[in-house]
Amino acid sequence: MPTLIDAAGPRADSWTRLEAADADALATAAAQAAPGADLLVTLDAWQSAPELLTGAARLGVLLEPDDPPEALTGAIDRLALVAVRFPSFTDGRGYSTARLLRERMGFMGELRAVGDVQRDQVFYLARCGFDSFELRDGEDAQAAVAALATFSESYQGAHDRGPLFERRFPQAARARKKAVVL
Amino acid sequence: MYRYDEIDQRLIDERVAQFRDQTRRFLAGELAEDDFRPLRLQNGLYLQRHAPMLRVAIPYGLLGSAQLRRLAHVARTYDRGYGHFSTRQNIQFNWPRLEDVPEILAQLAEVQLHAIQTSGNCIRNTTTDQFAGVAPDEIVDPLVWCELIRQWSTFHPEFAFLPRKFKIAVSGAEEDRAATLVHDIGLQARRAEDGTIGFRVIVGGGLGRTPMVGHVVRDFVAWPDLLNYLDAILRVYNRHGRRDNKYKARIKILVKDRTPEGFAAEVEAEWEHLKGGPGTVPAEEIERIASRFTRPAYRALPDDGIELSRDDRAGAASELAALLAPGEPGFARWAQRNVHPHRMAGYAAVTLSLKKTGVPPGDASADQLDAIADLAERYSFGELRVTHEQNLVLADVERAQLPALWRDARALGLATPNIGLLTDIIACPGGDYCALANAVSIPVAEAIQRRFDDLDYLHEIGELDLNISGCINACGHHHVGHIGILGVDKNGEEWYQVTIGGRQGNAAGIGRIIGPSFARDDVPDVVERLVRAYLDARDSDAERFVDVVARLGLAPFKEAVYAHAD
C-alpha cells in the first residue's frame, strides 16, 4: 500500500479514486461510491461528466503528466484536491504543472504527488507547491518527511519562497524595477 | 574566482550529506540501481567500463590554485594519479571507488568544489570564454552572469528531471569562444545603445546525434529579466519536450518541431507571465556577486607596443621573442601559438597545452596539477581557467615573465606550441574508458599527433581544429572540427567517419561527411591527404584549411582521399 504523508507525517486518505475507462463505467463507479464521499476523478471524467459527480462531498482531479493544468481554469476554486501523477520519478513535467497551478492559477487546495514518489524527490516537489505525497510502496514515511528539510536554503524562487536575493535585498524586491542601467 | 559565502558553503555541504545517505542506501541494498542512477548522475557519477567515473564541476572553467591542489590530491588518493579535463570545462576521474565518492565530494566541498548536476537530465555546468575578463575584444565580462546562472540552476526544483540534459554557454566578446551556437541555450552578452547590458538568446543548438546550429529566439533580453527568460524557455521545454525517445529529447528537436518562430512565440507567451516577477534580478545582487569575485591586482606596466591581437601573429611573436628572449630558440613559436592578447598593457594570457604527443588530450597527472598550481601562483595571481578545447590558461601573466613561464612549462611538458594547430586535438575518452563509445579516440589522436610531429610542418599548415569523438554522442565535438573524426561500429569493428568544414565561433557550422568510413590504421593517412590537398589549393598561408573547404567544397578533398584507393 502506498503511504500518504504531508509535512506532519503519515495520514489517512479520505479520497475515493474513480478511474473509469468510459462514461458508463464512471457512472457506475460514482453511483457505488459512498454518499458524501470525497471523489478524485481523471481530468477526462471531470470534463465529460460533471453531473455524475454532484453527490460528492468534495471533488478532486487527477492530472496525468501531459494534462495541461490550464484545463482547470475557472474551476479551480471548486476543487479541494488536485493530484498529479508521476509515472516515473524521472518524468519532471508534474513540477511545472504544480507551479502553474499554484503560482499562475492560484490553486489553494491540496496538491498531491502520486505515482513513483520517493523521499529523494519530496524536497523539490514541496518547493513546487505539492503539500501531500502518496509515497510509492515500500518507501519509508518518516524518512520522507525528514527529507522535506534536505536543504536549508534555496537560490531560486518557486512556490514556497522567493529567490534568495529577495531575502538578501528585501528593499530591492519591493522597489523592483524592470530596466535598470548597470 | 568567486568565493562562497556561508549560504553557498552550507548548500554544498548539505548536498554531500544527501549523497552520502543515498550512496549508503544503495550499497545497503535499500535503493535499487534504477532509482539510484539518476541521483548519482546528478552528482557526476557514472558507472563506466572499468570503474566509476566522477565528473567534478569547474564552474565556467575558473579555478584557484588551492582547488587545483585538492584535485591533484583526489587524483593521487582515489584515482590512478591523473585527471581528465573535458570539453565542458570540467574534470573527470576515471577510477574512484563508489564507496569513496561521498568522501571525495566532502573533501572537494572544503575548497568550494562540487559535482552537482555535472550529469543527468538537468541544467549542467555553465561554460564560457576562457579569456573572460581579460580579452581585448570583450564587450561584457561574462563571469558574474555565469555565477548568477550557476546559482539559479543549482537545485532548481522545477527542472531537475528534464527530458534530457541541458547545457548553457555564455559569451561576452566579439569573437565567440564559448560555442554559444551549439548549446541548448547560448547567451551572447552585449550592450544596448544606452549602455544596458543584455543577452542575445540562442536556443536549440547542439551536437550529438542530430547536430544543429541554434536559432536566435530573442535578440536582446535586458539583464534584470535574464533568469525569468531562462525560466520561460526551460518551462516550455520541460512541459513539451519529447520524453518518448531519448534521441529526440533535446530542446533542439522541440525547436525544430515547433519551428524556431513557433517556439519563440511560446517562450514569449510564458515570459509574459514571468516578466517583472519575483525572479527579476536586482542590481544589488549583481554587485554582491561581482564583489565576491577575486580580481587581479594588476600593476601599471609600460606598453611594449607589440600588438598580440594583430593578424600577423608570427610577426608579433618574433618581436616579443626579440624583446624578451633573444637567442632562445623555440620561444617565438610558443609565443605565436600559446600567448594571447590581454586588455591590460604589459600582460598576456597563456595557454598551457595538454596536447603533448603521447598524452591523452586533456589529461594531466597529479604531479602536473600540483606544479600547475605553483605556476598559477607564481605567474597569474593564483588562478587558472580550463578551456573547452581541453587546455589550461593562465590568464594574467606579466609579459616580462613569459620566458620564465615558458621554461617552467616546458620542463613540465606543458609548453607544446600547438594551440589552434592540428595536434591540439579535442578528443573524448573514447572506448578505452567510456561504456558508450563505439571506438577508441585517444590512440587515434596519438597516431595523428605522431604523423604531424614535425613542428615546422605543423606551423606551416596553420590553424586547423581536429576533433575526435568515439561515438555519436559527440563529446569530442567532431561536428565542429575543421576535420572531424567519428568512431562508428561496423559489425563489431571500429571504423572512423570523416567530416570536414565544421567550425565553432561566430560562423559555427556542422562539418560534412566526405564519404565511406576508414579503418583505424588508415586515419593518419586520410588526414595527411586532406592536409596535402589543402596546402596545394590554398591562396596563401592566410587562407586556413576551413576557408579552403568553404571556397572549394568537398570535391578536391574527396578526390585526394578516395581517388588513389585502388
The DSSP code sequence of B24-82 is: HHHHTTSS-HHHHHHHHHTTTEEE-SSSEEEEEB-GGGEEEHHHHHHHHHHHHHHSSSE
Q: Out of B18, B239, B276, whose CB is closest to A150?
A: B18
Where does chain B hold its CATH 3.30.413.10 domain(s)? 135-289, 426-565
Question: What average pLDDT score do residues A78-105 get?
Answer: 97
Q: Out of B14, B18, B280, whose CB is closest to A176?
A: B280
Question: What average pLDDT score do residues B488-494 get?
Answer: 91
Q: How many CB atoms lie within 10 A of CB B369?
A: 25
Instruction: Indicate if the pLDDT at residue B194 is higher than 80.
Output: yes
- Amino acid B369: pLDDT: 98
> For residues B12, B18, B20 and B23, what is the CA-based torsion angle, rounded to 10 degrees?
-130
Model confidence band, residue B565 (pLDDT cutoffs 50, 70, 90): low
Tell which residue, B237, B227, B299, B246, has the closest CA to residue B266: B237
Instruction: Indicate if the pLDDT at residue B50 is higher than 80.
Output: no
Mean pLDDT of chain B: 96
Q: Is B191 on the interface with A (CB under 8 A)?
A: no
> What is the distance between the alpha carbons of residues B452 and B455, in angstroms, rounded to a whole number?
8
Q: Which three cell numbers stand for residue A45?
A: 471524467
Q: Which residues contact B368 (CB under 8 A, 6 or more apart)?
A: B412, B413, B414
Please give the model's pTM, rounded to 2 decimal places.
Answer: 0.96
Instruction: Indicate if the pLDDT at residue B269 is higher than 70.
Output: yes
Q: Which three cell numbers stand for residue A89?
A: 520519478
Question: What average pLDDT score do residues B183-200 get?
Answer: 96
| Helices and strands in chain B: count of H runs, count of E runs | 18, 21
- Amino acid B316: pLDDT: 96
> What is the distance between the alpha carbons of residues B364 and B433, in angstroms, rounded to a whole number?
16
Q: Give chain A positions within 8 Å (CB) of B151.
A: 155-156, 164
Do B285 and A89 count as a contact with CB atoms less than 8 A apart? no
Q: Which residues contact B185 (CB under 8 A, 6 or more apart)?
A: B166, B167, B168, B169, B201, B202, B203, B214, B230, B233, B251
- Amino acid B307: pLDDT: 94
- Amino acid B564: pLDDT: 66
Do B238 and A182 count as a contact with CB atoms less than 8 A apart? no
Q: Which three cell numbers stand for residue B476?
A: 569530442
> What is the distance between the alpha carbons of residues B120 and B438, in angstroms, rounded to a whole number?
21
* Number of inter-chain CB pairs under 8 A, A vs B: 127
The label of the residue with cell 498529479 reads A84
Tell which residue, B506, B515, B499, has the closest CA to residue B465: B499
- First-to-last alpha carbon distance for chain B, in angstroms, is 57
Q: How many CB atoms lie within 10 A of CB B546?
A: 22
What chain A holds in terms of domains, given with CATH numbers, is 3-153 (3.20.20.70)
- The pLDDT tens digits for A136-161 are 999 999 999 999 999 999 999 999 99
- Amino acid B25: pLDDT: 97
Q: How many CB atoms lie within 10 A of CB B127?
A: 28
Helices (H), B247-330: 251-258, 260-274, 283-291, 313-324
Instruction: Indicate if the pLDDT at residue A179 is higher than 60.
Output: no
Q: When comparing pLDDT for A63 and B209, which is higher?
A: A63
- The pLDDT tens digits for B292-304 are 999 999 999 999 9
Instruction: Indicate if the pLDDT at residue B267 is higher than 70.
Output: yes
Task: For chain A, list residues whose CB is within 8 angstroms of any CB belonging to chain B.
Answer: 89-93, 95-97, 99, 104, 118, 120, 123-125, 127-128, 150-158, 162-166, 168-169, 172-173, 176-182
Q: Give chain B positions within 8 Å (CB) of A95.
A: 157-161, 238
State how far residue B416 is from chain A, nearest Cα, in angstroms: 42
Q: Give chain A positions within 8 Å (CB) of B276.
A: 176, 178
- Amino acid A182: pLDDT: 46
Contact A98, A78 (CB under 8 A): no
- In what order do the strands lie in the sheet containing A58-63? A9-10, A3-6, A132-135, A110-115, A79-86, A58-63, A38-42, A15-18
The DSSP code sequence of B118-151 is: SSSSSB---EE-TTTTT-TTBSS--HHHHHHHHH
- Amino acid B64: pLDDT: 98
> What share of chain A in percent tops pLDDT 70?
96
Mean pLDDT of chain A: 91
CATH says B135-289 is which class? alpha beta
| Helices and strands in chain A: count of H runs, count of E runs | 7, 8
Contact B179, B503 (CB under 8 A): no
* Rounded alpha-carbon distances, angstroms, from residue B299 to B138, B324, B347, B397: 20, 18, 9, 11
> What is the distance between the alpha carbons of residues B369 and B93, in angstroms, rounded to a whole number?
13
> What is the distance between the alpha carbons of residues B303 and B97, in angstroms, rounded to a whole number?
52
Backbone angles phi, psi at B211, to 5 degrees: -70, 135
> What is the distance between the alpha carbons of residues A112 and A98, in angstroms, rounded to a whole number?
9
Question: What average pLDDT score do residues B400-406 get?
Answer: 98
Helix, strand, coil percentages in chain B from 3-state DSSP, rounded to 5: 40, 20, 40
Do B285 and A154 count as a contact with CB atoms less than 8 A apart? no
> What is the distance between the alpha carbons of residues B76 and B412, in angstroms, rounded to a whole number?
17
Q: Out of B152, B155, B159, whose CB is closest to A151?
A: B155
Fold of B6-109: Sulfite Reductase Hemoprotein; domain 2 (3.90.480)
Fold of B426-565: Sulfite Reductase Hemoprotein; domain 1 (3.30.413)
CATH of B313-411, one of 1.10.10.10, 3.40.50.1980, 3.40.710.10, 3.90.480.20: 3.90.480.20
- Amino acid A23: pLDDT: 73
Do B158 and A154 count as a contact with CB atoms less than 8 A apart? no
Backbone angles phi, psi at B93, to 5 degrees: -115, 130
Question: What average pLDDT score do residues B254-282 get?
Answer: 97
R_g of chain B, CA atoms, integer Å: 23
R_g of chain A, CA atoms, integer Å: 18
Scanning B208-267 for CB atoms below 8 A from A yields 222-225, 227, 235, 238-239, 243
> What is the distance between the alpha carbons of residues B338 and B434, in angstroms, rounded to a whole number?
30
Question: What average pLDDT score do residues B517-533 get?
Answer: 97
> What share of chain B in percent tops pLDDT 70?
99
Model confidence band, residue B548 (pLDDT cutoffs 50, 70, 90): very high
Where does chain B hold its CATH 3.90.480.20 domain(s)? 6-109, 313-411
- The pLDDT tens digits for B19-37 are 999 999 999 999 999 999 9
- Amino acid A46: pLDDT: 87
> For residues A89, A91, A97 and A99, what is the CA-based torsion angle, rounded to 10 degrees?
60
Q: How many CB atoms lie within 10 A of CB B20?
A: 15
> What is the distance between the alpha carbons of residues B67 and B225, in angstroms, rounded to a whole number?
33
- Amino acid A120: pLDDT: 98
3-class state of residue A112 by DSSP: strand
What ipTM is given for this predicted complex? 0.95
* Rounded alpha-carbon distances, angstroms, from residue B446 to B308, B356, B443, B450, B520: 31, 9, 5, 6, 12
Model confidence band, residue A90 (pLDDT cutoffs 50, 70, 90): very high
Q: Which residues, in sequence order, are bridge partners of residue B513?
A: B499
Q: Out of B152, B224, B275, whose CB is closest to A180?
A: B224
Contact A150, A126 (CB under 8 A): no
- Amino acid A25: pLDDT: 78
Q: Is B121 on the interface with A (CB under 8 A)?
A: yes
* Rounded alpha-carbon distances, angstroms, from residue B311 to B236, B307, B481: 44, 9, 22
Q: Which residues contact A146 (CB under 8 A, 6 or more apart)?
A: A119
> What is the distance between the alpha carbons of residues B224 and B201, in angstroms, rounded to a whole number?
14
